[in-house]
């Protein structure tokens, strides 16, 4: 597996994207809105930063910001066979947040592993969409 992206929770994705652009030359390459979330991807040279801004005061990222404040939310790893990886992890008794792949940004399929299973880090597994 390879690093796909690092998710960063922020109350203001546009402001953080502008700051990262000014400081490091990172540029926005994709934006997408979900029911409770605005995601902004920045090109970080071979991988991405995914800025996660709550669209409302509810949802997992809003709760994360309330509890932890802005910062790294998750690390995402790319796999060509998400269903197969999830099955192998279940066979190894690894606790997952998602039992099955679900739709994610950019048309990808995603699933999360519980932080307790991987050293306290929320891990997202990503299979690229068509």
Tens digit of pLDDT for each residue in 14-45? 999 999 999 999 999 999 999 899 999 999 99
Task: Tell me: pLDDT of 49 over 80.
Answer: yes
- pLDDT tier, 130 (very low <50, low <70, confident <90, very high otherwise): low
Among 91, 96, 100, smallest CA distance to 115 is for: 96
Task: Determine the pLDDT at residue 129.
Answer: 73
Q: Average of pLDDT values for 85-114?
A: 94
Q: How many CB atoms lie within 10 A of CB 15?
A: 12
- pLDDT tier, 57 (very low <50, low <70, confident <90, very high otherwise): confident
For residue 118, the domain's CATH number is: 3.10.180.10
Q: Average of pLDDT values for 99-122?
A: 94
Q: What is the pTM of this model?
A: 0.92
Total structural domains within the chain: 1
User: Nearest 5 degrees, angle CA 108-CA 113-CA 116?
Assistant: 160
* Residue 82 belongs to domain spanning: 2-127
- Cβ–Cβ < 8 Å for 123, 116: no
What is the C-alpha to C-alpha distance for residues 111 and 100, in angstroms, rounded to an integer?
Answer: 7
């Amino acid at each position: 597996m390879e690093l796909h992206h690092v998710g960063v929770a922020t109350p203001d994705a546009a402001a953080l994207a502008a700051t990262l652009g000014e400081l490091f030359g990172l540029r926005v390459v994709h934006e997408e809105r979900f029911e409770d979330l605005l995601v902004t991807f920045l090109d970080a040279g071979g991988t991405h930063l995914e800025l996660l801004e709550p669209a409302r005061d509810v949802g997992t990222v809003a709760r994360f910001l309330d509890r932890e404040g802005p910062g790294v939310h998750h690390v995402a790893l790319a796999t060509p066979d998400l269903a197969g990886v999830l099955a192998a992890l279940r066979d190894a008794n690894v606790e997952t947040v998602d039992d099955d792949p679900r739709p994610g940004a950019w048309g990808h399929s995603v699933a999360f592993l519980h932080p307790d299973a991987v050293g306290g880090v929320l891990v997202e597994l990503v299979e690229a969409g068509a």
